[in-house]
Each structure stands twice: as structure tokens, then as C-alpha cells.
Structure 1
């Protein structure tokens, strides 16, 4: 097994969980009347689960080094909250397939931009025609999944 096998397998599992998360949050959103309430409940449960993991010793919550991280490093939860609320809103309206295909297209476009410019501490990985073609195919796939 090469070094990429475990992260790739975990990414597939995480992607599967994302497909389950959207409809379960949509159920919460419908019952509460709010995609934001659904996202709040989702993040509350996630926070509790992560609290257990931190308590079990997976990291240092009060590490002094946290004071030195750039301001934008603290914003990850905002992006996640937007995605979860958007998925709770969008899943019942357009379906999981189109929703997640479009989200993956957005992730891929963002990744290409971040890599190309070496943003947020990433190593620079210039854009290539192959990367642009891959992103275009994913975008086309999003439209095909939506029409199907």
C-alpha cells in the first residue's frame, strides 16, 4: 500500500458521509423550518464528537502555538457552516447528486486556484491544461447529473 492509499480511502468515506449528511440535515431543516437551525444542530453534534476526540488526547486545545496562526486559519468553521446550511437548503430542492456534483466542481476550482498561487501556505502547483480540462469535465458532469 502506498502513502496515498489511506488518505484517498478516507476521502471516499468522507465524501460518502457528505452525501448522507445533506439529506439528514434537510430532514432537520424541514422539521425546524430553517436550514440554519439544521446546520446549528449538525455542528453542535459534530462539536460534541470532536470534544470527545480532543478529550481522548488527539490534540492540544489550549496550545500556545494557536496564538500565532494567521487570522484566516480560524475561519474554517464558517466555510463548513455555509456548506452544511446550503446542503440542508438545496438537497430537497435539487437532489443530492446535483448538489454534491456542483459542490465538488466548486471544490476543484478552488483547489486549482489555491494550488496555482500557493495560497494559504500551500506549495505552489501551477495550473495545467489537464487540470483545467478535469475541472471542465466535472462542471459538465454537474449539468449532466442535474438534467438526468
Structure 2
């Protein structure tokens, strides 16, 4: 199970670095939406190659696809919001305040999602420790943004 934390740490590092190249591409090309499309195409190509090389890529059958909840198909739209924030907001706020806000709001929202078991998550109750951790993250982001 420890390797999952390692992969999450790698993803967190990628999340911190990604706005830099994405916003640089947007600025250098003078086309933020072009940069966003490049991000999506390169991500899709990377997923395709990784899926093919690992042998883990398959398409669900029609029957399987019809059993998937409608909201499960919306992740790409949410990814677009993330990409647009990297292109438009990160360059203005800076990497630390932007990512700190993104991660903190994500954790606060995740506490609620876990507590109620919404959008496919297992129930993990919002204990006082989890809520306090979220509050401390808000304080931490405030310090990063102010200084």
C-alpha cells in the first residue's frame, strides 16, 4: 500500500510543476486555448501509449458502458477546469498560492465527499481530526499567499 502514497507524491509534484510549462506555452503562443488543447492531446497520447505498453487498455462493452453512472463521464470537464486554472490563474497568483488553494479546496471538498460517500467514494466520516486538518490547511494557504 505504501507505493500508492509514493505515486500520489509523484502526482503532487507533477501538479506543482505542470502550471509552469502550461502557462509558458500559453504565453509564448499567445493562445491559451491552444495550449490547453496541447495539454489534452499530449495527455491522451501518453495515456494511450502507457495503456498499450502495459496491456491494460480496453474499451468497455456497450452493456458495461450503459451501467456507468452519467456523472462518471464528466471527469474530463473537471480536468478542463483544472487546465484552465493553470493557464489563466497560476501565472497571476504564483505557483504556491494557486496550488495551495487548489489542494486545500480539494481536501475540504474531499472530506465532504468521503463523509457522505458521494461520487463513488467509500464512506470515511468527517472526524474532528480531519476537519481540523482542513482548517489548518486553510491557515497554511493564507500564510503562503500573504508572505
Could you tell me which residue of structure 2 aligns to residue 75 of structure 1? 74
Q: How far off is 1:126 after superposition?
A: 1.5
What is the 5 A alignment of 1:1-148?
A: 3=1, 5-56=2-53, 57-64=55-62, 65-148=64-147
TM-score where L is the length of structure 1: 0.91
Distance 1:38 1:106 in 2: 25
Q: How far off is 1:55 after superposition?
A: 2.5
Do the aligned residues in 2 keep the contact of 1:29 with 1:35 (CA within 8 Å)? yes
Distance 1:35 1:138 in 2: 30
Deviations 1:57-98 (A, max 9, x none): 212124442331011111111111110111121121111011
Structure 1 unaligned runs (5+)? none
What is the number of residues matched between the two proteins?
145
* Counterpart secondary structure, 1:43: helix
Distance 2:72 2:132 in 1: 30
- CA RMSD in angstroms comes to 1.4
Structure 2 unaligned runs (5+)? none
Do the aligned residues in 2 keep the contact of 1:54 with 1:61 (CA within 8 Å)? no
